[in-house]
Amino acid sequence: MIIDMHTHAGPPRRTGDVDRTVLATMRPAGVSAAVVAAIGDIPMIRRDRDTGRLQKFRDPNPGECLEAVESYLTSFEQSGTRIAREPDDFRPDDPALVLAIEGCDFLEGDLDRLDVMEARGVRSIQLTHYLVNETGDIQTAPPVHGGLTAFGAEVVRRMNKLGIILDVAHCSEDTVKDVAAVATRPFLCTHSNLKEPGHKNGDHPRFIGPDYARMVVESGGVVGAWIAVLAEEKLPGMIRHLFRMIDALGIDHVGIGTDMPAGVAATEMPDFSRHPEIVAALRNHGLTAEEIEKVCSGNWLRVLRAVRA
Protein backbone atom coordinates (compact mmCIF):
# COMPACT_ATOMS: atom_id res chain seq x y z
CA MET A 1 0.00 0.00 0.00
CA ILE A 2 1.33 3.44 -0.97
CA ILE A 3 0.28 6.73 0.64
CA ASP A 4 1.84 9.89 -0.77
CA MET A 5 1.65 12.38 2.08
CA HIS A 6 1.92 15.56 -0.01
CA THR A 7 0.45 15.97 -3.51
CA HIS A 8 -1.70 18.35 -5.53
CA ALA A 9 -3.72 15.83 -7.60
CA GLY A 10 -2.86 17.61 -10.82
CA PRO A 11 -1.37 21.04 -11.56
CA PRO A 12 -1.90 23.43 -8.61
CA ARG A 13 -4.45 26.10 -9.48
CA ARG A 14 -6.93 28.33 -7.70
CA THR A 15 -10.10 27.19 -9.40
CA GLY A 16 -11.42 24.41 -11.56
CA ASP A 17 -11.87 20.67 -11.30
CA VAL A 18 -9.28 18.16 -10.20
CA ASP A 19 -7.71 16.32 -13.14
CA ARG A 20 -9.51 12.98 -12.94
CA THR A 21 -7.11 11.41 -15.42
CA VAL A 22 -4.37 11.90 -12.81
CA LEU A 23 -6.50 10.31 -10.07
CA ALA A 24 -7.29 7.41 -12.39
CA THR A 25 -3.62 6.36 -12.25
CA MET A 26 -3.75 5.74 -8.49
CA ARG A 27 -5.29 2.25 -8.50
CA PRO A 28 -3.06 0.76 -11.26
CA ALA A 29 -0.01 2.16 -9.44
CA GLY A 30 -1.03 0.67 -6.09
CA VAL A 31 -1.48 4.11 -4.53
CA SER A 32 -4.09 3.73 -1.80
CA ALA A 33 -4.23 7.38 -0.81
CA ALA A 34 -2.95 10.80 -1.77
CA VAL A 35 -2.88 13.64 0.71
CA VAL A 36 -4.06 16.57 -1.45
CA ALA A 37 -3.13 20.07 -0.37
CA ALA A 38 -5.28 23.17 -0.73
CA ILE A 39 -2.92 26.14 -1.17
CA GLY A 40 -4.13 29.19 0.71
CA ASP A 41 -1.54 31.66 -0.55
CA ILE A 42 -1.52 30.65 -4.20
CA PRO A 43 -2.92 34.00 -5.44
CA MET A 44 0.00 35.83 -3.78
CA ILE A 45 2.99 33.79 -4.96
CA ARG A 46 4.87 33.40 -8.24
CA ARG A 47 8.23 32.19 -9.52
CA ASP A 48 11.18 34.53 -9.48
CA ARG A 49 12.46 34.90 -13.06
CA ASP A 50 16.11 34.64 -12.01
CA THR A 51 16.03 31.88 -9.39
CA GLY A 52 12.94 29.98 -10.52
CA ARG A 53 11.83 29.77 -6.89
CA LEU A 54 8.40 30.62 -5.58
CA GLN A 55 8.07 33.75 -3.50
CA LYS A 56 5.49 36.23 -2.28
CA PHE A 57 4.76 39.20 -4.55
CA ARG A 58 1.84 40.80 -2.68
CA ASP A 59 -0.16 40.65 0.54
CA PRO A 60 -3.50 38.82 0.64
CA ASN A 61 -6.78 40.65 0.74
CA PRO A 62 -9.13 39.89 3.66
CA GLY A 63 -10.75 36.49 3.16
CA GLU A 64 -8.75 35.75 0.00
CA CYS A 65 -6.74 32.85 1.41
CA LEU A 66 -9.84 31.27 2.95
CA GLU A 67 -11.62 31.55 -0.39
CA ALA A 68 -8.72 29.82 -2.15
CA VAL A 69 -8.66 26.99 0.41
CA GLU A 70 -12.40 26.42 0.17
CA SER A 71 -12.24 26.37 -3.63
CA TYR A 72 -9.55 23.68 -3.54
CA LEU A 73 -11.39 21.59 -0.96
CA THR A 74 -14.59 21.71 -3.00
CA SER A 75 -12.72 20.52 -6.09
CA PHE A 76 -11.26 17.59 -4.12
CA GLU A 77 -14.66 16.68 -2.69
CA GLN A 78 -16.21 16.72 -6.17
CA SER A 79 -13.39 14.72 -7.79
CA GLY A 80 -15.23 11.40 -7.77
CA THR A 81 -12.61 9.86 -5.47
CA ARG A 82 -13.70 9.10 -1.93
CA ILE A 83 -12.35 11.11 1.00
CA ALA A 84 -10.61 9.20 3.80
CA ARG A 85 -11.02 10.72 7.26
CA GLU A 86 -10.00 8.06 9.78
CA PRO A 87 -7.18 5.47 10.02
CA ASP A 88 -9.53 2.59 9.18
CA ASP A 89 -10.64 4.26 5.93
CA PHE A 90 -7.56 3.14 3.97
CA ARG A 91 -7.73 0.07 1.71
CA PRO A 92 -5.17 -1.23 -0.81
CA ASP A 93 -7.62 -1.58 -3.69
CA ASP A 94 -9.85 1.45 -3.12
CA PRO A 95 -7.96 4.75 -3.62
CA ALA A 96 -8.86 7.72 -1.45
CA LEU A 97 -7.91 11.35 -0.99
CA VAL A 98 -6.96 12.92 2.34
CA LEU A 99 -7.78 16.61 2.64
CA ALA A 100 -4.91 18.91 3.65
CA ILE A 101 -4.15 22.64 3.68
CA GLU A 102 -0.80 24.22 2.85
CA GLY A 103 -0.38 27.25 5.09
CA CYS A 104 -2.50 28.69 7.92
CA ASP A 105 -2.92 32.01 6.10
CA PHE A 106 -6.66 31.27 5.88
CA LEU A 107 -7.13 31.61 9.67
CA GLU A 108 -6.80 35.40 9.92
CA GLY A 109 -6.66 35.16 13.71
CA ASP A 110 -9.71 32.89 14.00
CA LEU A 111 -8.89 29.56 15.68
CA ASP A 112 -12.46 28.36 15.21
CA ARG A 113 -11.78 28.02 11.49
CA LEU A 114 -9.68 24.99 12.43
CA ASP A 115 -12.78 23.39 13.95
CA VAL A 116 -14.69 24.04 10.73
CA MET A 117 -11.94 22.45 8.63
CA GLU A 118 -11.70 19.40 10.89
CA ALA A 119 -15.46 18.88 10.62
CA ARG A 120 -15.15 19.14 6.84
CA GLY A 121 -12.62 16.30 6.89
CA VAL A 122 -9.30 18.13 6.73
CA ARG A 123 -6.72 15.93 8.44
CA SER A 124 -3.37 17.68 7.85
CA ILE A 125 -2.43 21.37 7.90
CA GLN A 126 0.89 23.16 7.35
CA LEU A 127 1.55 26.17 9.53
CA THR A 128 3.27 28.09 6.74
CA HIS A 129 3.92 28.10 3.01
CA TYR A 130 5.55 30.99 1.11
CA LEU A 131 4.07 33.85 3.14
CA VAL A 132 5.37 34.72 6.59
CA ASN A 133 1.96 34.50 8.27
CA GLU A 134 0.67 35.06 11.79
CA THR A 135 1.85 31.62 13.00
CA GLY A 136 5.60 31.84 12.42
CA ASP A 137 8.61 32.24 10.16
CA ILE A 138 9.39 30.34 6.98
CA GLN A 139 12.53 28.82 5.45
CA THR A 140 12.59 30.96 2.32
CA ALA A 141 12.29 34.51 3.69
CA PRO A 142 14.08 36.52 6.41
CA PRO A 143 12.69 35.91 9.92
CA VAL A 144 10.01 38.27 11.19
CA HIS A 145 8.78 36.66 14.39
CA GLY A 146 11.89 34.84 15.63
CA GLY A 147 10.08 31.49 15.45
CA LEU A 148 6.56 30.44 16.40
CA THR A 149 4.22 33.24 17.48
CA ALA A 150 1.92 33.13 20.50
CA PHE A 151 -0.97 32.68 18.07
CA GLY A 152 0.98 29.93 16.30
CA ALA A 153 1.33 28.10 19.62
CA GLU A 154 -2.45 28.31 20.06
CA VAL A 155 -2.86 26.89 16.56
CA VAL A 156 -0.60 23.95 17.47
CA ARG A 157 -2.60 23.27 20.65
CA ARG A 158 -5.95 23.48 18.85
CA MET A 159 -4.79 21.15 16.06
CA ASN A 160 -3.55 18.63 18.62
CA LYS A 161 -6.89 18.83 20.41
CA LEU A 162 -8.93 18.45 17.22
CA GLY A 163 -6.91 15.58 15.80
CA ILE A 164 -5.44 17.41 12.81
CA ILE A 165 -1.91 16.44 11.82
CA LEU A 166 0.52 19.34 12.14
CA ASP A 167 2.88 19.74 9.19
CA VAL A 168 6.01 21.91 9.66
CA ALA A 169 7.14 21.81 6.02
CA HIS A 170 8.28 25.31 4.97
CA CYS A 171 8.71 26.41 8.62
CA SER A 172 12.02 27.87 9.74
CA GLU A 173 14.10 25.78 12.13
CA ASP A 174 13.41 28.24 14.97
CA THR A 175 9.69 27.87 14.33
CA VAL A 176 10.01 24.09 14.51
CA LYS A 177 12.00 24.38 17.73
CA ASP A 178 9.08 26.24 19.29
CA VAL A 179 6.55 23.80 17.81
CA ALA A 180 8.44 20.93 19.44
CA ALA A 181 8.13 22.65 22.82
CA VAL A 182 4.35 23.01 22.46
CA ALA A 183 3.13 19.97 20.52
CA THR A 184 1.74 16.97 22.38
CA ARG A 185 1.29 14.81 19.26
CA PRO A 186 3.71 13.69 16.51
CA PHE A 187 4.15 16.15 13.65
CA LEU A 188 5.32 15.85 10.05
CA CYS A 189 7.63 17.53 7.60
CA THR A 190 5.81 16.18 4.58
CA HIS A 191 8.10 17.21 1.72
CA SER A 192 11.78 17.99 2.07
CA ASN A 193 15.23 16.40 1.86
CA LEU A 194 18.23 16.46 4.17
CA LYS A 195 20.87 19.09 3.51
CA GLU A 196 23.91 17.65 1.74
CA PRO A 197 27.06 19.77 2.25
CA GLY A 198 29.36 19.69 -0.73
CA HIS A 199 26.72 18.44 -3.14
CA LYS A 200 25.44 20.77 -5.86
CA ASN A 201 22.16 22.25 -4.60
CA GLY A 202 22.70 20.36 -1.34
CA ASP A 203 22.04 23.52 0.65
CA HIS A 204 18.69 24.31 -0.95
CA PRO A 205 16.73 26.60 1.42
CA ARG A 206 13.90 24.08 1.61
CA PHE A 207 16.20 21.23 2.69
CA ILE A 208 16.50 20.59 6.42
CA GLY A 209 19.48 20.14 8.69
CA PRO A 210 20.07 17.40 11.29
CA ASP A 211 18.66 19.41 14.22
CA TYR A 212 15.47 20.18 12.30
CA ALA A 213 15.04 16.53 11.33
CA ARG A 214 15.79 15.37 14.87
CA MET A 215 12.92 17.45 16.26
CA VAL A 216 10.48 15.81 13.86
CA VAL A 217 11.81 12.36 14.74
CA GLU A 218 11.72 12.98 18.49
CA SER A 219 8.05 13.95 18.22
CA GLY A 220 7.38 10.54 16.70
CA GLY A 221 6.90 12.15 13.30
CA VAL A 222 7.90 11.52 9.70
CA VAL A 223 9.88 13.37 7.00
CA GLY A 224 8.78 12.86 3.38
CA ALA A 225 11.28 12.58 0.52
CA TRP A 226 10.68 15.27 -2.10
CA ILE A 227 11.25 15.52 -5.86
CA ALA A 228 10.06 18.99 -6.90
CA VAL A 229 13.45 20.77 -6.84
CA LEU A 230 15.65 17.93 -8.12
CA ALA A 231 16.06 19.35 -11.63
CA GLU A 232 19.16 17.31 -12.46
CA GLU A 233 18.70 14.07 -10.50
CA LYS A 234 14.93 13.79 -10.93
CA LEU A 235 13.23 10.60 -9.60
CA PRO A 236 16.52 8.71 -9.06
CA GLY A 237 17.62 11.67 -6.94
CA MET A 238 14.47 11.54 -4.82
CA ILE A 239 15.08 7.84 -4.26
CA ARG A 240 18.70 8.60 -3.32
CA HIS A 241 17.50 11.19 -0.80
CA LEU A 242 14.98 8.68 0.52
CA PHE A 243 17.77 6.25 1.37
CA ARG A 244 19.85 9.06 2.91
CA MET A 245 16.95 9.80 5.25
CA ILE A 246 16.41 6.16 6.11
CA ASP A 247 20.07 5.91 7.09
CA ALA A 248 20.03 9.16 9.09
CA LEU A 249 16.57 9.13 10.69
CA GLY A 250 15.66 5.46 10.90
CA ILE A 251 13.12 3.36 9.04
CA ASP A 252 10.26 4.49 11.33
CA HIS A 253 10.52 8.18 10.44
CA VAL A 254 10.67 8.38 6.65
CA GLY A 255 7.90 8.53 4.06
CA ILE A 256 7.00 9.70 0.56
CA GLY A 257 5.99 13.34 -0.06
CA THR A 258 6.49 13.95 -3.75
CA ASP A 259 4.65 17.31 -4.05
CA MET A 260 3.62 16.07 -7.49
CA PRO A 261 3.22 17.58 -10.01
CA ALA A 262 5.00 20.70 -8.71
CA GLY A 263 8.37 21.70 -10.13
CA VAL A 264 10.38 18.83 -11.61
CA ALA A 265 7.49 16.47 -10.97
CA ALA A 266 5.51 18.21 -13.72
CA THR A 267 7.46 16.10 -16.21
CA GLU A 268 8.94 13.37 -13.99
CA MET A 269 5.81 12.48 -11.99
CA PRO A 270 2.81 14.21 -13.56
CA ASP A 271 0.61 11.42 -12.21
CA PHE A 272 0.95 8.38 -9.91
CA SER A 273 2.20 5.88 -12.49
CA ARG A 274 5.85 5.99 -11.34
CA HIS A 275 5.21 5.39 -7.64
CA PRO A 276 5.86 1.63 -8.08
CA GLU A 277 9.44 2.51 -9.06
CA ILE A 278 9.95 3.78 -5.51
CA VAL A 279 8.69 0.49 -4.09
CA ALA A 280 10.93 -1.45 -6.48
CA ALA A 281 13.97 0.61 -5.45
CA LEU A 282 13.30 -0.12 -1.76
CA ARG A 283 12.95 -3.82 -2.52
CA ASN A 284 16.09 -3.90 -4.67
CA HIS A 285 17.98 -2.15 -1.88
CA GLY A 286 17.25 -5.13 0.36
CA LEU A 287 14.49 -3.73 2.57
CA THR A 288 12.06 -6.26 4.00
CA ALA A 289 8.35 -6.22 3.19
CA GLU A 290 7.68 -4.78 6.67
CA GLU A 291 10.24 -2.00 6.16
CA ILE A 292 8.83 -1.14 2.73
CA GLU A 293 5.34 -0.93 4.17
CA LYS A 294 6.57 1.49 6.86
CA VAL A 295 8.14 3.87 4.36
CA CYS A 296 5.34 3.68 1.81
CA SER A 297 2.38 4.06 4.16
CA GLY A 298 2.79 2.67 7.67
CA ASN A 299 4.75 5.52 9.21
CA TRP A 300 2.25 8.14 8.05
CA LEU A 301 -0.67 5.98 9.20
CA ARG A 302 0.96 5.61 12.62
CA VAL A 303 1.06 9.39 12.95
CA LEU A 304 -2.57 9.71 11.86
CA ARG A 305 -3.61 7.13 14.46
CA ALA A 306 -1.68 8.91 17.19
CA VAL A 307 -3.16 12.29 16.29
CA ARG A 308 -6.73 11.04 15.86
CA ALA A 309 -6.52 9.20 19.20
Cis peptide leading into residue 261 (ω within 30°) = yes
Q: Are residues 62 and 100 in contact, defined by beta-carbon separation less than 8 angstroms? A: no
Q: For the chain, what percentages of helix, strand and coil (3-state, to nearest 5) are there?
A: 40, 20, 40
pLDDT at 12: 66
In the chain, % of residues over pLDDT 90: 91
pLDDT tens-digit readout, 30-70: 999 999 999 999 988 888 887 778 888 899 999 999 999 99
Q: Mean pLDDT throughout 181-205? A: 96
Backbone φ/ψ region at 95: left (φ over 0), alpha (ψ -120 to 50), beta: beta
What is the domain range of residue 63? 2-308
Quickly state the pLDDT bin for 15 (edges 50, 70, 90).
low
**Number of Cβ within a 10 Å radius of residue 128:** 29
pLDDT at 50: 79
pLDDT tens-digit readout, 255-284: 999 999 999 999 999 999 999 999 999 999
Helix axes 234-249, 275-284, angle to 10 degrees: 50
Read off the CATH number of the domain in which 211 is found: 3.20.20.140
User: Which residues 6+ apart lie within 8 Å of 135 measured at CB?
Assistant: 104, 107, 127, 128, 148, 149, 151, 152, 155, 175
Domain count, the chain: 1
- Decide: residue 228, CB within 10 A, 0-12 exposed, 13-18 middle, 19+ buried: buried
Does residue 10 have a pLDDT over 80? no
Q: Mean pLDDT throughout 13-19? A: 74
Does residue 14 have a pLDDT over 70? no
